[in-house]
Amino acid sequence: TGVRPYEMMRVRHKHIRMIDDKDDEKKHLEMYVIGKIRDRTIISKYGAFFSYRGICKNICPNPKGEDLLFPTNPYTGLLSLIEDAELRYSINGDKRDSKSLRHFYIMTELQRGTPIEYLTQQCDVSYAVIRDHYARHLQPKMFREQLIKVSHIEDP
């Protein structure tokens, strides 16, 4: 979702709305998030719908509206998983942690061509931060498929 890790710690079950479409690929969550700059409703990716359904079924079968989605900080568990999978450091030596998921989300959305205006709302981040912190890492090879795609060829 691009939400900051500490913002997810404030999400309660009453803040989550499951959008159950007939088309599985359109299933998603709408979540109300208390943000750093502003509170907002965000839209999840497809997989979050099924993850949340699994949490409700297997971990918290009868959640009450005021119950926190993550009653304990998942940071240490995620960190252990990253270390056990030997993914704590990137090929460049950069540390990975829960914030890395937010950065990955923003970079992936930029590569997909999501307008920056949408990301500023979804991730509660300014246009300048996206431009100066994230977009400067983009390289032409990240857009290879879009750049080589033939949109129209005239038949002579």
| Residue 1 contacts residue 42 (beta carbons within 8 Å) | yes
- What pLDDT does 73 receive? 82
Rg (CA), the chain: 18
pLDDT level of residue 55 (50, 70, 90 thresholds)? very high
Report the predicted TM-score, pTM, of the whole model to 2 decimal places: 0.77
> Could you please report the per-residue DSSP string of 92-123?
TS-B--HHHHHHHHHHHHHHHT--HHHHHHHH
CA distance linking residue 121 with residue 103, whole number of Å: 15
CA separation for the pair 116, 148 (Å, rounded): 23
| DSSP annotation of 34 | -
Q: CA–CA separation, 64 vs 13, rounded Å?
A: 7
Q: Is the pLDDT of residue 17 over 70?
A: yes
% pLDDT > 70, the chain: 88
* 96-154 per-position pLDDT tens digit: 988 888 988 998 898 888 888 999 999 999 989 988 888 777 766 655 555 556 665 66
Q: Which pLDDT value is given to residue 133?
A: 85
Cα 61–chain centre separation: 24
pLDDT at position 145 is 59
